[in-house]
Chain A
Amino acid sequence: MYTEKRKISRDEESKIVFIVNIILIVIFVFLLFSFWNLQILKNEHYKFLSSRNIIKDIEIKAPRGFITDKNGVVLAENRLSFDLFVIRDYIADMDRTINEAVKLTGLNEETINNRIDKYRKFPGSYNIPLKRNLSFKNVIYIESRSDDFPEFRIEQEPARFYPFGKIASHIIGYLSEISQNEYMGLKEKGYKLGDMAGRSGIEKTYEKFLKGKHGVKTVIKDNLGQIHNIIDIEEPKIGDTVSLTIDIALQQYIEELYGDYNGAAGVVDLKTGGMLAMVSKPNFDPGFFSESFKKEEWNNLINDDSKPLNNRFIQGLYSPGSTFKIVMAIAGLSENIINTNSGVTCYGSAKVYDRVFHCWNRLGHGWMNLQEAIQNSCNIFFYQLGKKIDIDVIAKYGEYFGLKEKTLIDIPHEKTGILPTRKWKRKNYNQDWYPGETISVAIGGGMITVTPAQILAMISTVALRGKRPKFHLFKNNKRDKKILKEYTPEFYSVNIEKRIFENVIKGLFMGVNEEGTGRGARVEGLNVCGKTGTQLILSLENPNYKKLVKQRRFTPHSWFVSFAPRENPEYAVMVFVENGGDAGKIAAPMAGKIYRRIFGYE
């Protein structure tokens, strides 16, 4: 009965069943082969990919080494800061992420785009820093929304901290993030994008000691970046502690002496060349650079009129003023142009080469010998000397005292002043040297310029009677409390008779201790020797001199260079105050205070 229902013939049915069976066999054989290919032949490849999926290396940033002063007081250390990162792998919608990042960081869209772009060659799982040092409020806010925004991550990382704030900022320097181009050159040295590097000061010079070595944490992460397991951990190594020759208490004292004046000061230990203090005012906040990615803030700082980033001590170029008379005197004596008995009568002005030159003392000093001329800083004496001495000879002696070269102090970006010669003028102005120009140079004016550091080098050479110390800030570096490298002092020698130094030093001693221009630096019981320099901004011949000079910007710069004690000198002190006015009234008393502080005369 049921067979009647069937219209398909047996043949037809077997044909269909046969074809279906063939199809079945083909399908399953094909599947077996393709799985064989995928799972057995390509197993290694996919095993690698699968472990790469879950096994991630996470950088553990090494804390930077500490910077301390000579007594071990910490000048730069690290504090944990909450930093905001973004991880490309977890960005679902770039626009949404960027909008949120703008809200969280306050940076603009372009800056954020640029930051993400900077890391494009890094794996998608890399933590891209967006903002450092988040406020606690922000941290909580971001953490509470981590489900909505898995791409944002907050990590605690060591951040540079400078306990003394702006104090010693030019010594310490600052850090900022390395750029993409720098990274190319630095990656072999263990740097990662997002790392900080020293840009100036000690932070830059001793970068290799301070850097430390990053650690790595190998972890298992799921597809949302949740860490499930730590497989391996290589602890980071903190950078070496770099100790300086600086005495931070003294440094701070000197910086505060400046009040709202700008300028530079240096105190050097003459036995080693180590700097006890190195001041440049105004100073800046070194912490600023490691935190901010904002271009405007950078520009504000860079374009500040008072140039706080400029380290005046090694970069400021100024006329040395009367401090240069020291070099002139030594040159005159060495070349036998003058001797200790030579004298000049000062009437307050003199006609040299048909031009009238003034002494600072319009009433005149009367008859002066060399030492008295130094003591009273008499211009007329040195005008006469300038008439008899060639500019190239002056330059030769300037060179002996380090005025042509860098002091090679161990922080970067040092400049040198101009020690003019005939050749120099020909080259730069295509002109002959006029003898009248020598007269200006003879009192530290005209074309000659120096840095405060060079002037300190000059007075140090005088103090040590012909030995010029190489300046430095580095004392030693320590790892695990063990000293690795200790600074060994270096000196350059100048072949000038000791007698000549003693003659000039007598004048310097008189200048401070016997009613000379430098008497403000006098310290009872300590034989300070020094020389003032008051470098006019306006010419005395300017008809409005008396009116204009009251404005701060036309007020003369003040110098005071000195050392103490007279015999077996220990320290040289250089004070330079921009627009400070009469050096005898400002720079010299500041130096006096510094000596009292150093030698404990308070």
Chain B
Amino acid sequence: MVMSDIVRFFDRFTFILLLFIVALGAFLVFSASFSSGNNYLMKHLVKIIISLILFFIMLSFKTETAFRWSFLLYIFLVAVLIIQLFTGKIISGTKSWIKMGFLSIQVSEFIKIPVALLLAQFFSKVSVLGWGSFIKMTTFVLIPFVLIALQPDMGTAFILLSFILISVLLKRIKFSIIIFSLIVLIAGSFVMWNYMLKPYQKDRIISFVNPGKYSKSSGYQIIQSKIAFGSGGLSGKGYLKGSQSQYKFLPTRHTDFIASVLGEEFGYLGVSFLLLLFFIFFYRQFNLNVRSDEEFYFIFLFNGLILFQFLINILMITGLFPVLGIPLPFVSYGGSSMLAFFIGEGLIFKMKLNNFIQHE
């Protein structure tokens, strides 16, 4: 593929849309860290630039190569996750960080890519998900899920489960498997609740049901986030003028609760604008032609995961879903998530190019 082709067929519209979302995010990260005196913006911009570089590297990558190496990459990252479990230092309550020079990297964010690649390949080989293939598929997801959950990072682990959810949409599945899965899900949550969840995680779920009861823990976060949103009104309190954000009532406002800053400072109009950007982005990323099944599945799996994470984050910060520490894709401060999503999108943009170029 030559450079001129890339320039010609590159989906500039969606890319610019994405840049808009990222720019809005940087704008909000600045506001979120404004009063605390930490300059998160510079670090955030550095991460955006690295992400964009990786994005363009992906464009020059052969899609087939990515698929071919996906299994090895998967094994490698799983191995890193295992090593991390035994040797990792605990940073902010989890072992999910790896220090690499000046960058801290969350491996758990990157494993989304090989899992999506593997599943896409796998889906293109089977027509109907029977017991055998279902178990195989679930295993691909559950290995990293368990490893990440043990770190413990329930949020990131939980997002991986979206792959199983999406597979129901993409593949015909035996009815008995769905029934069985539901039973396992119910039994599993029972076991989790009683034996696996840490008290603070239970608190989060309880406080989701009854936020007033835990006004200092996660219930407090939900309440403060809703206050931030709700007090924003139609047009917001103005940039850098949100009292919830600037007087630090809003928790982890530069990461998980970044959209609350938007809601408070730019109001319903600001939030609607972001929703519109995301809607067009998702619409364009789902409505496209690709040349192969595996690319098709990859696009739906990976974009589906982004949509899922986007939805859970928005629901969480408006009190419609329990607090799970997950960032808003492309917007929140957080390098690993940004990097992983841009790498994945790089592959997807490349797949879009493939289609045009093959047509000629």
Query: Is A5 touching B293 in the complex (CB atoms < 8 A)?
Result: yes
Kindly identify which residue among B227, B247, B300 contacts A20, using a CB–CB cutoff of 8 Å: B300
Given known contacts A35-B229, A40-B234, A46-B227, A54 and B247 CB-to-CB distance under 8 angstroms: yes
Say whether B249 contacts A223, CB under 8 Å: yes
| B275 & A28 in contact (Cβ 8 Å cutoff) | yes
Beta-carbon nearest neighbor of A90 in chain B: B216
B122 / chain A contacts, CB cutoff of 8 Å: none
Instruction: Check B31 for interface membership: any CB of A closer than 8 A.
Output: no
Complex Cα distance, B230 from A42, in Å, reads 6
A 1-36 to B, binary, CB cutoff 8 A, 1 in contact else 0: 111011110000100110111001001100110111
Which residues of B are found within 8 Å of A50, using beta-carbon distances? 227-228, 230-231, 243-244
Q: Which residues of B contact A8 (CB under 8 A)?
A: 293, 296
How long is the Cα–Cα vector from A417 to B224 in the complex, in angstroms?
Answer: 66
Q: Are A17 and B286 in contact (CB under 8 A)?
A: yes
Decide yes or no whether B4 CB sits under 8 A from chain A.
no
Whether A34 touches B320, Cβ cut-off 8 Å, given contacts A7-B124, A24-B282, A223-B249, is yes
Q: Do B247 and A47 touch across chains, with their CB atoms under 8 A apart? A: no
Interface residue B263 (Cβ < 8 Å from any Cβ of A) = yes
Answer yes or no: A483 CB below 8 A from chain B CBs. no
A221, CB-defined interface residue at 8 Å: yes
- Is the Cβ of A6 less than 8 Å from the Cβ of B292? yes
Collect the chain B residues with CB atoms within 8 Å of residue A38's CB: 226, 229-230, 263, 318
Q: Encode A494-528 as 1/0 by CB contact (under 8 A) with B.
A: 00000000000000000000000000000000000
If over half of B's interface residues share one DSSP class (helix, strand or loop), that class is named, otherwise mixed; here it is helix
Pair B300/A49 contact, Cβ less than 8 Å: no
Query: Is B314 engaged at the interface, CB distance under 8 Å to the other chain?
Result: yes
Q: How far is the CB of A268 from chain B (nearest CB, A)?
A: 62
Across the interface, do A54 and B292 meet the contact criterion of CB distance under 8 Å?
A: no
Q: When each residue 268-283 of chain B gets 1 if its CB lies under 8 Å from chain A and 0 otherwise, what string results?
A: 1001100100110011
A99: CB under 8 A from chain B?
no
Instruction: Please judge, given known A-B contacts A53-B244, A228-B247, whether A46 and B268 are in contact too, CB under 8 Å.
Output: no
Distance of A472 Cα from B109 Cα, bound (Å): 84
> CA–CA, A63 to B2, complex, Å?
84
Q: Is the CB of B227 within 8 A of A2?
A: no
Q: Digit string of A206-238 for contact with B (CB within 8 Å is 1, else 0)?
A: 000000000000001111100010000000000
Residues on A with beta carbons closer than 8 Å to the beta carbon of B249: 53-54, 222-223
- Known contacts A28-B275, A223-B248; is A39 also within 8 Å of B320 by CB? no
Residues of A within 8 A of B248 (CB): 222-224
Cα–Cα distance between A65 and B300 once the two chains are bound (Å):
78
Q: How far is the CA of A51 from the CA of B230 in the complex (A)?
A: 12
* Chain B positions 289 through 307: 1 when the CB is less than 8 Å from some CB of chain A, otherwise 0: 0011100100010001001
A43 on the B face (CB < 8 A)? yes
- Whether A7 contacts B247 in the complex (CB less than 8 A), given A43-B233, A45-B230, A47-B230, comes out as no
CA distance A49 to B215 in the complex (A): 14
- Decide if A36 touches B268 in the complex (CB within 8 Å): yes
| Docked-complex contact B286 and A21, CB < 8 angstroms | yes
Check B247–A221 contact: CB distance below 8 A: yes
In the bound assembly, the distance between CA atoms of A42 and B272 in angstroms comes to: 17
Give, as a whole number of angstroms, the nearest-CB distance from B353 to chain A. 13
Bound state CA distance, A17 and B227, in angstroms?
37
Q: Known interface pairs A6-B293, A222-B247. Does A43 touch B230 (Cβ–Cβ under 8 Å)?
A: yes
Q: Say yes or no: B229 contacts A54, CB within 8 Å.
A: no
Whether the pair A31, B314 counts as a contact (CB closer than 8 A) is yes
A191→B311 CA distance, assembly (Å) = 51
Please indicate the chain A residues that have their CB under 8 angstroms from the CB of B127 in the complex.
Answer: 7
Which A residues touch B170, using CB under 8 A?
A: 16
Q: What count of chain A residues pass the 8 Å CB interface test?
A: 41
Q: Are B233 and A47 in contact (CB under 8 A)?
A: yes
Q: How far is the CA of A45 from the CA of B229 in the complex (A)?
A: 11
The docked-state distance in angstroms from the alpha carbon of A10 to that of B103 is: 45
Residue of A nearest to B303 (CB): A20
Complex: A45 Cα to B230 Cα, angstroms: 8
Q: Tell whether A46 pairs with B169 under 8 Å between CB atoms, given A24-B282, A39-B263, A40-B268.
A: no
Asked if B267 is at the interface of the complex by the 8 Å CB criterion, the answer is yes
Nearest Cβ in chain A — how far from B146, in angstroms? 28
Which residue of A2, A21, A24, A53 is within 8 Å of B291 (Cβ)? A2
Please state if A53 and B293 are interface contacts (CB–CB under 8 Å): no
Q: What's the least CB distance linking A547 to chain B, in Å?
A: 74
* CB closest residue in chain B, given A5: B292
Q: Write the nearest CB–CB distance from B233 to chain A, whole angstroms.
A: 4
The yes or no answer to B219 lying at the interface (CB within 8 A) is: no
Provide the residues of chain A in CB contact with B230, threshold 8 Å.
Answer: 38-39, 42-43, 45-47, 49-50
CA distance A212 to B261 in the complex (A): 44
Q: A16-B170, A24-B279 are in contact. Are A39 and B227 (CB under 8 A)?
A: no
Q: How far is the CB of B2 from chain A (nearest CB, A)?
A: 18
Chain A window 350-367, contacts with chain B (Cβ cutoff 8 Å), 1 for yes, 0 for no: 000000000000000000
Given contacts A45-B230, A53-B243, contact A16 B169 (CB under 8 A): yes
B residues adjacent to A (C-beta < 8 A): 35, 124, 127, 169-170, 216, 224, 226-234, 243-244, 247-249, 263, 267-268, 271-272, 275, 278-279, 282-283, 286-287, 291-293, 296, 300, 304, 307, 311, 314, 318, 320, 358
> Closest 9 interchain pairs by CB?
A46-B230, A2-B291, A50-B231, A222-B247, A5-B292, A39-B268, A46-B231, A43-B233, A223-B248
Q: Name 23 interchain pairs, CB-CB below 8 A, sorted by A.
A: A2-B292, A3-B291, A6-B296, A13-B296, A16-B170, A20-B304, A24-B283, A28-B275, A28-B279, A31-B314, A32-B275, A36-B268, A43-B231, A43-B232, A43-B234, A46-B226, A47-B230, A49-B231, A50-B227, A50-B230, A53-B224, A54-B243, A224-B248
> Which chain A residues have a beta carbon within 8 Å of chain B's beta carbons?
1-3, 5-8, 13, 16-17, 19-21, 24, 27-28, 31-32, 34-36, 38-40, 42-43, 45-47, 49-51, 53-54, 92, 220-224, 228
